[in-house]
Homo-oligomer: A and B are copies of this chain.
Amino acid sequence: MKKEFVTYIRTLQNTITSALEEVDGKAKFKEDVWKRPEGGGGRSRVIENGTVFEKGGVNISEVHGTLPESMQQYFGVNDANFFACGLSLVLHPKNPMVPTVHANWRYFELYDANGAIVDQWFGGGQDLTPYYLFDADAIHFHSTCKKVCDAHHPEFYTKYKKRCDSYFYNAHREEGRGVGGLFFDYCKETDAMSMQDWYNFVTDVGNSFLEAYLPIVVARKDLNYTKRNRQWQEIRRGRYVEFNLVHDKGTLFGLKTNGRIESILMSLPPVVQWKYDHHPKSGSEEEKLIEVLKNPKDWV
């Protein structure tokens, strides 16, 4: 399973970065291969100052060794060896009409003293953060998510859509980070789902990413925008930073367990603004976005 999933994310990273470079037309991903002193490593690919993508990263990592103390606490286990691998991506487009996107697919194994697997699970998801709301984009993204979920379980879409809304929530602002998508974690063997079934589900979600996101990029990347639109995007990016640094378990976990800082923080937007007590004008497009972030919608 481990070997199979590692091969999968390596190939997916290639597929995704090639497709994004093609859409961008100018910038290329810079590759950064790194080793983890305690075991394993990763292959980060970062794009900056593109025509379409102002900043983004599509990173894979495979790490293993003794479970760090902080993770023992987190998972409620004692001394153990572990293996974890995954692909994480965040894309911050330049044009405020193109939404930011985040996705992650990961697999985890815990071992006993003899190296036998005592626990294993998948996790991940994908979610969309627009700056200007085009209903059609949110509907397209969610429809793609629903289609891939429905092929595996009739309740997955509803369940993981809801989890996404509640996970990517800026509690201190009382608003969602974006219009959501899917979020799932601790996907373990059950009577209904074998680990192979979960593998099939998670990789199908991974395979749906480009179909879910690229048509939106293509439809919006050449739209005109004003300085005011751009300012709104930069202010909203501030909320993205607030979520990632204050609430996101993955980010905080990485920062507090001596993770690879630059790979973890590649999710932060390139240019960000904070204005004091900024509120969009009543009836504006900006206010329309906030409405939806405060009251998540059923898009399909």
Report the bound CA distance from A119 to B171 in whole Å: 32
Contacts of A38 in B (CB 8 A): none
Does A245 make an interface contact (CB < 8 A)?
Answer: yes
CB of A276 within 8 A of CB of B262, answer: yes
Q: Tell me if B173 and A261 are in contact (CB < 8 A).
A: yes
Contact with B along A70-82 (1 / 0, CB 8 A): 0000000000000
Q: How far is the CB of A50 from chain B (nearest CB, A)?
A: 13
Question: A189 within 8 Å of B by Cβ?
Answer: no
Contact B271 A48 (CB under 8 A): no
This chain: copies in complex: 2
Interface size class for chain A?
20 to 34
Residues in B whose Cβ lies below 8 Å from that of A277: 32, 46, 262
* A186: Cβ under 8 A from any B Cβ: no
Q: Considering only CB atoms, which chain B residue lies closest to A277 in the complex? A: B262
User: A242 in the interface, Cβ–Cβ < 8 Å?
Assistant: yes
Q: 1/0 contact trace for A262-297 toward B, CB 8 Å?
A: 100110111111111100000000000000000000
A3 adjacent to chain B (CB < 8 Å): no
